[in-house]
Structure 1
Amino acid sequence: MAEIIGVIEQLWRYPVKSTGGERLDSVEVDERGLAGDRLYAVRDSAGKLGSGKNTRRFRRMDGLLRLSSRLGHRLDGPELFDPLGRPVADPTAFLRAYLQRPDVALAREDAVSHFDQLPVSVLTTATLDWVRGAAPAAVVDVRRFRPNILLRTPPGTPPFVEDGWFGREGGGGARLAFVRASERCAMTTVAQPGLPHAPEILKAIIQAHEGRLDALAEVVTPGRLSVGDELSLN
């Protein structure tokens, strides 16, 4: 019998990787993930993608989290907003001046995936509330953890309940296979509009849970997810 694990409280899509996202009422989910999620990124002349860290695929570009992006009902290209929330007329020209990097451009995903790990991230309110208690001096907000789904869990649900989902499938309008947790980095601590720098957040997660937070999933069956949908596990 299916086990109801919570109700979708928030849905988030991040049209441009490493920028602030848009909150949705409902969204189509395909094999790649939420439609339009991380579909674009800031790419440099070496082909590396703007991120909060340096890796084989990513290049650290400070300041991206102060920007935001939106697709709305159009998937042909994102709107980019500056740190004051004003729309940018020419995203690539703006990014070159803002980042002081003449080699960057706003690029659509091609052969190189824009996802850090897996395509869908689910975070519970139980775990988010634990972070608030573990870092009481910090301004804790769901935007720091950049999930696609914030799931409202029943009272008394323990933090890190997501760990018990790994190896199982579930969902509502779309079916997901839960695989593992995200390994958190300094992005959770970086300042963004309304949220000051907060290094104590990452420190608390590392000490309590080896830096892991949320449930990452692959899409098994495409469908539509909406705020208020129940998610269940089989």
Structure 2
Amino acid sequence: MKVAEISRFPIKSLLGERLDDVEIEQRGLIGDRLWAVRDVEGKIGSGKNTRRFRRMPGLLHLRGYFGERVPTVELPGGETFAADDPAGHAAVSHAIGRNVTIAREAEVQHHDEGPVSLITTAGLRQLAAMTGEPVDPARFRANLLIDLPGTGFLDDSWVGQDLQVGPTVLLRPQALQTRCIMINMAQGDLPESGRLLKAVAERPDLTFGLWATVIRAGRIAVGDAVTVNSRTLITAHP
């Protein structure tokens, strides 16, 4: 197995950027989802409504780019601005039809479930067989796409194991990742899908892919080998 794609989303729920390599820390990919759109109630812009999130149609027509100090936001017409620019906040508010600002992560984390998300090519092939059409990995907004031979949800068994990625990084998948209507939405050049969420709904608890914690930080690159290392759990006896 190897890393096929690396993706980072500097501003949560906006389009992101593909990378050749990236540094991973305990929080996840450097700069990933570190900023987010927030409404006047402090809810985080997303594709769904929950205790933390507020559904905000239109965010997937905007794009975020990493910056050392603050990310850059790009509007559909190509206009760009710094994420902390009040004039930019006004432009985003106009674009999505509600009053919002863009803020850095504080007490409430921006990740849906965990620091690093990943999917596999084998899983995508399985979904393609179920829907009758190719499934673009961009719909799942995962950090890592792992090139895994075969077809099926083979990565389900990785929960609780260790993933060695490249020479240094060690990830530990903690759970399958829950999906929502966002995977059906039009984004970038991808049109709206009417089949994908129905296919994922056939999975346990509407899941596809995994989220993982970072056991050992470091740098990864496209093409790096990925190895599943089984963990031996030692139980202490009285």
TM-score > 0.5, shorter chain as reference: yes
Letter in 2 for 1:117: E
- State the partner residue of 1:20: 15
Any idea what the Cα deviations from partners look like across 1:124-168, whole Å, max 9, x if unmatched? 10001112221125x6211100110001112xx341111110111
Is 1:7 aligned to 2:2, yes or no? yes
Aligned mate of 2:97, from 96, 100, 119: 100
Q: TM-score, normalised by structure 2?
A: 0.89
- State the partner residue of 1:203: 198
SS at match of 1:199: coil
- State the partner residue of 1:128: 124
Q: Which has the larger radius of gyration?
A: 2
- State the partner residue of 2:39: 44
Shift in Å, 1:59:
0.7
Supply the RMSD in Å over aligned alpha carbons. 1.4
Any idea what the Cα deviations from partners look like across 1:40-89, whole Å, max 9, x if unmatched? 00012211100011111111111101111111xx33111111224x1423
Give the ranges of 4+ consecutive aligned residues of structure 1 lying more than 3 Å apart after TM superposition.
none
Task: Tell me the distance in 2 between the aligned counterparts of 1:162 and 1:87.
Answer: 40
Query: Matched residues, percent identical?
Result: 40
Contact 2:6 2:20 in 1 (8 A): yes
Task: Tell me the distance in 2 between the aligned counterparts of 1:129 and 1:51.
Answer: 27
Shift in Å, 1:209:
4.4
Task: Tell me the distance in 2 between the aligned counterparts of 1:42 and 1:150.
Answer: 26
Q: Extract unaligned runs of 5+ from structure 1.
A: 1-5
SS at match of 1:133: helix
Contact 1:79 1:87 in 2 (8 A): no
Contact 1:88 1:94 in 2 (8 A): no
Q: TM-score, normalised by structure 1?
A: 0.90
> What does residue range 153-232 of structure 1 map to in structure 2 within 5 Å?
153-154=148-149, 157-172=150-165, 173-232=168-227
Contact 2:125 2:151 in 1 (8 A): no
